[in-house]
Amino acid sequence: MNKESGRRWNNNIWLICIALLCFGCASNKAVVKRYDTARQDQFLPVNMNINGGQILTVGHASVVHFLGRTIINSNQFRDVEVSYLRYPYSLEIEHGWATRTGPVSLISLLVSAGSVLIIPGYMNETHTMNVRVLYNDTLIESLQYTHETKAILSLWHLSDDNRKAVAGEMVQEFLADLRERKLIPTMGDLNRPAPVMDKAI
């Protein structure tokens, strides 16, 4: 193998590696599992407030909107009110994430920026979702969920895809806890007859 063909071979190998890296990251779209609710007894209607009306960045607002729609579309509640306090039960949700940039992720971001996002870079993120379940003004339970993820930055991949996937997973955990711990009554609970107490003789 002469020098020219060897140089060509090396260039081809580099191009293949870069292409695999790019398309491998680009195909890692958010896949959010659907919460199977078809046969489950619905909870009573709730009011829902996410992040207390804070002004959010465009990216965060997109994830918060997705989180809220996931809860509403889960069909776990008879109704979800987001504008007024119509119902006795309420969900107060705080969602956000913190970015951790270590040496490896910092290098990947610099390389990505140098390639104008053709080569993907990433950031490590810690996502949290805090949920307060209330009956009128009385706190029933506080729940917290934490997930780690990598936010991929490239021309072919939106970092919000990863963030929405994480939000979907935390919503599923929350709905499972809500049902397992019976924090809110279900519609079926209203239709069950009250227990008959034996009278003392």
**Three-state SS letters, 32-80:** CCCCCCCCCCCECCEEEEEHHHCCCCHHHHHHHHHHHHHHHHCCCECCE
- Burial (CB count within 10 angstroms: exposed 0-12, middle 13-18, buried 19+), residue 162: buried
Residues 57-85, mean pLDDT to the nearest whole number: 92
* Residue 43 or 13, more confident: 43
135 strand-pairing partners: 89, 138
124-133 pLDDT, tens digit per residue, is: 789 999 999 9
**In angstroms, rounded to a whole number, what is the distance separating the alpha carbons of residues 111 and 117?**
8
- Distance, CA of 163 to CA of 186 (rounded, Å): 30
Distances (CA, A) of 184 to 48, 114, 169: 13, 52, 21
**How confident is the prediction for the chain on average, in pLDDT?**
75
Going by pLDDT thresholds of 50, 70 and 90, the confidence category of residue 29 is: very low
pLDDT at 57: 81
The whole-number pLDDT of residue 138 equals: 95
Q: Is the pLDDT at 14 greater than 50, yes or no?
A: no
Instruction: Report pLDDT digits (tens) over 174-193.
Output: 999 999 999 999 998 877 66
Dihedral (Cα; 12, 18, 23, 24), 10-degree rounding: 110
pTM above 0.85, yes or no: no
Q: Say yes or no to pLDDT of 32 above 70.
A: no
